[in-house]
């Protein structure tokens, strides 16, 4: 939540997608070789070093050969089976040809004058693991080998094209992620903009190559902290955190092997200094409390079954969470969070108001239950108004799936709800045979008037969106005492809705409490518009740095991280020596990555 509120580094690229007025018209295709051939005289091949590829071609072919070879290399390949991937590749290759035409055939990678670009790109490709990216997508070793075996202009053109394609893939992947989230889980409805190929090439060609590539990853400090955590966890994988705790419950005052294992694992994870004590003493109790706080557990100091399960997780599990969090941060790269914004981390069960990078308000939440049509989605939008004393118009899905069966058993069930016909007239329940209707033909609507017992409570906070998700009060306060709070139909219930209203209204009223309470006292539905819309971000981070850079972890309540990590592994992400214990759907993820 300490993202920069400015647009990320790739934002200016989109502004460069239009051709400047003073840019010369593209050179004809036959002229592509004019700039290229000059750099291929003997002795002007690629600079040789341990990290840079070496071009073996020493004698240039006729002037038009490189141009013709590049066009042939960029031509659509026969036998492609995925139409979307083929179309995307064709669009990129058209942009690539256009780019080289506009340069009069000057190379980007394979000329002697391209040494700095080459060095910067291959240095970046050699470090893709630092970002949790799949090295095989860019195949730096294969590109080096291709360069080493260039003997003809056709091979040289294919090498130039291959590096350009690898550059485009890397630039997009490291800046906005390599997975297409909705292909992995339909609940991730975040819009992921992908940089335009021509804009990337134009900007890169006009920039310092090393600086351009260094600016591509997210600039949020959380990203760097997750990278550091990745290194720490890889080191921990080599040694482990010691034997697991065998007992299901260990309490203060206990002694023995389970206490020793508990202490050793907390020492290994940084919660205690080394000790040989076999007693569950005060320092160990404090360490358990700190661990519980950092992992979203009820803080008691007792090593309960749930706490022990989390303490026993291996480094590989935490590494998986960190790698997925890095990918999620890349999806949000370029998202302007807002100087003031609301950050709703679903597995953390909290909603926070953040002002200029600092949390100024926080409340517990209840999120959608872990069922196919009730999980809260992930997206960003803008809160525009709040509704005080809201009426609840029951969604059609809830009406026919939940209330119709109740009415068929007892027409007076759910008496707090009004049943209305298509004209809005209230229906006399005694006059309706509800057993005659199905979910497909039920002709009535249901609504709950404003009241203390209204399902939405006494206020809801609106950021209109296609999924009809919003934040709201609730009469079901006891649910906030639970550790895992996934009970709603998808909307976000708030433990302290009035305080959130006061916080938001304080930006536009000298007496925010008075304004809200006066409106509430009318007992009539009323809208309070926000003078300045507030961005709302519904996110799903199971690994996230606190204000001091220490990584906190949460449970994967929807299994989304497991699905994402499975997709990442399918694409070849290096997960270290130990396979993480995450369950997830293995099928249907081969094409989850954004190819190209």
Copy the structure tokens of residue 129: 């693991």
Other CB atoms within 10 Å distance of the CB of residue 135: 16
Residue 177 backbone class (left: φ over 0; alpha: ψ -120 to 50; beta: rest):
left
CA 294 from centre of chain: 21
Q: What is the pLDDT of residue 112?
A: 84
SS3 332: coil
Q: What is the pLDDT of residue 14?
A: 26
Q: Where is 553: in which H helix or E strand?
A: strand 551-553
Cβ-count burial of 139 within 10 angstroms (0-12 exposed, 13-18 middle, 19+ buried)?
middle
Instruction: Give the span between the Cα atoms of 448 and 284, in whole angstroms.
Output: 51
Copy the structure tokens of residue 229: 């955590």
Give the torsion sign (CA, 156, 159, 163, 164): positive
Q: 244 Cβ partners below 8 Å, 6+ apart? A: 261, 265, 312
Under a CB-based contact definition with an 8 Å cutoff, are residues 343 and 352 in contact?
A: yes
Each residue's pLDDT tens digit, 425-440? 999 999 999 999 999 9
Under a CB-based contact definition with an 8 Å cutoff, are residues 472 and 456 in contact?
A: yes
DSSP per-residue codes, 258-324: HHHHHHHHHHHTTSS------B--HHHHHHHHHHHHHTT----S-B-HHHHHHHT--HHHHHHHHHH
Q: Provide the mean pLDDT of the chain.
A: 86
For 361, phi then psi, to 5°, come to -160, 140
Each residue's pLDDT tens digit, 194-220? 999 999 999 999 999 999 999 999 999
Percent of the chain with pLDDT strictly greater than 90 = 73
Instruction: Give the span between the Cα atoms of 232 and 219, in whole angstroms.
Output: 21
Q: What is the pLDDT of residue 286?
A: 97
Residues of the chain with CATH 1.10.101.10: 241-313
DSSP per-residue codes, 458-506: TEEEE---TT---EE--S-GGGGGSSS-EEESSSEEES-HHHHHHHHHT
Q: Where is 328: in which H helix or E strand?
A: helix 315-331
- Nearest Cα residue to 416 out of 473, 454, 460: 454
Q: What is the pLDDT of residue 595?
A: 35
What CATH number does domain 241-313 carry, 1.10.540.10, 2.40.50.180, 3.30.450.40, 1.10.101.10? Answer: 1.10.101.10
Q: What is the pLDDT of residue 251?
A: 94
Q: Which residues of the chain have pLDDT under 50?
A: 1-49, 58-63, 579, 582-596
SS3 151: coil
Beta bridge partners of 362: 352
- Nearest Cα residue to 365 out of 484, 525, 282: 484
Q: What is the pLDDT of residue 594?
A: 38
Q: What is the pLDDT of residue 52?
A: 67
Q: What is the pLDDT of residue 121?
A: 97
Q: What is the pLDDT of residue 229?
A: 97
Can you give 382-403 as a three-state secondary structure string?
EEEEEEECCCEECCHHHHHHHH
Other CB atoms within 10 Å distance of the CB of residue 290: 17
Q: Where is 363: in which H helix or E strand?
A: strand 358-368
Under a CB-based contact definition with an 8 Å cutoff, are residues 319 and 540 in contact?
A: no
Beta-strand (E) ranges in 36-87?
Answer: none
Q: What is the pLDDT of residue 264?
A: 97
Cβ-count burial of 371 within 10 angstroms (0-12 exposed, 13-18 middle, 19+ buried)?
exposed
- Nearest Cα residue to 312 out of 276, 254, 349, 264: 264
Q: What is the pLDDT of residue 87?
A: 72
Instruction: Give the span between the Cα atoms of 64 and 72, in whole angstroms.
Output: 12
CA 32 from centre of chain: 41
pTM for the structure as a whole: 0.85
Q: What is the pLDDT of residue 151?
A: 84
Other CB atoms within 10 Å distance of the CB of residue 332: 22
């Amino acid at each position: 939540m300490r993202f920069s509120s400015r647009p990320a580094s790739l934002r200016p690229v989109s502004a460069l997608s239009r051709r400047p007025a003073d840019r010369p018209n593209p050179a004809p295709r036959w002229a592509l070789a004019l700039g290229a051939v000059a750099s291929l005289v003997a002795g002007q091949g690629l600079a040789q070093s341990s990290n840079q590829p070496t071009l073996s071609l020493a004698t240039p072919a006729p002037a038009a050969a490189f141009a013709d070879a590049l066009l042939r290399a960029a031509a659509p390949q026969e036998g492609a089976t995925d139409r979307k991937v083929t179309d995307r590749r064709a669009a990129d290759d058209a942009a690539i040809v256009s780019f080289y035409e506009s340069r009069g055939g000057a190379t980007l990678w394979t000329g002697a004058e391209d040494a700095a670009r080459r060095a910067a790109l291959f240095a970046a490709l050699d470090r893709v693991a630092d970002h949790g990216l799949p090295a095989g997508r860019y195949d730096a070793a294969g590109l080096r080998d291709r360069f080493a075996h260039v003997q003809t202009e056709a091979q040289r053109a294919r090498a130039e094209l291959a590096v350009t394609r690898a550059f485009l893939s890397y630039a997009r992947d490291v800046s906005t992620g390599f997975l297409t989230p909705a292909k992995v889980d339909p609940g991730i409805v975040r819009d992921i903009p992908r940089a335009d190929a021509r804009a990337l090439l134009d900007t890169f060609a006009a920039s310092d190559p090393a600086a351009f590539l260094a600016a591509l990853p997210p600039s949020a400090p959380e990203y760097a902290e997750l990278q550091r955590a990745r290194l720490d966890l890889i080191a921990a994988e080599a040694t482990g955190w010691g034997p697991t705790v065998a007992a299901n419950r260990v309490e203060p005052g206990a002694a023995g092997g389970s206490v020793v294992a508990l202490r050793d694992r907390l020492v290994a994870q940084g919660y205690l200094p080394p000790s040989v004590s076999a007693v569950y003493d005060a320092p160990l109790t404090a360490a358990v409390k700190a661990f519980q706080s950092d992992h979203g557990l009820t803080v008691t100091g007792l090593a309960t079954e749930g706490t022990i399960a989390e303490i026993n997780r291996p480094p590989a599990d935490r590494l998986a969470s960190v790698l997925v969090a890095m990918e999620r941060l890349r999806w949000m790269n370029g998202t302007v969070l807002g100087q003031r914004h609301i950050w709703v981390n679903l597995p953390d069960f909290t909603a926070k108001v953040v002002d200029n990078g600092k949390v100024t308000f926080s409340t517990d939440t209840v999120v959608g239950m872990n069922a196919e049509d009730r999980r809260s989605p992930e997206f960003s939008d803008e809160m525009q108004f709040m509704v005080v004393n809201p009426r609840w118009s029951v969604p059609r899905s809830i009406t026919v799936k939940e209330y119709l069966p109740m009415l068929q058993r007892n027409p007076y069930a759910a008496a707090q709800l009004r049943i209305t016909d298509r004209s809005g007239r209230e229906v006399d329940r005694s006059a309706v045979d509800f057993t005659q209707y199905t979910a497909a033909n039920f002709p009535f609507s249901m609504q709950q008037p404003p009241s203390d017992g209204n399902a939405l409570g006494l206020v809801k906070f609106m950021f209109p969106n296609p999924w009809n998700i919003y934040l709201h009060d609730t009469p079901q306060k006891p649910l906030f005492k639970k550790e895992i709070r996934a009970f709603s139909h998808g909307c976000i219930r708030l433990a302290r809705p009035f305080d959130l209203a006061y916080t938001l209204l304080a930006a536009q009223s000298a007496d925010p409490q008075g304004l809200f309470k006066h409106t509430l006292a009318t007992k009539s539905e009323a809208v309070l518009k926000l003078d300045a819309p507030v961005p709302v971000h519904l996110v799903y981070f199971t690994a996230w740095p606190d204000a001091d850079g220490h990584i906190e972890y949460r449970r994967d309540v929807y299994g989304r991280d497991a699905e994402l990590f499975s997709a990442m592994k399918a694409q070849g992400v290096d997960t270290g020596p130990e396979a993480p214990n995450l369950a997830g759907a293995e099928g249907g993820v081969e094409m989850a990555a954004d190819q190209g």
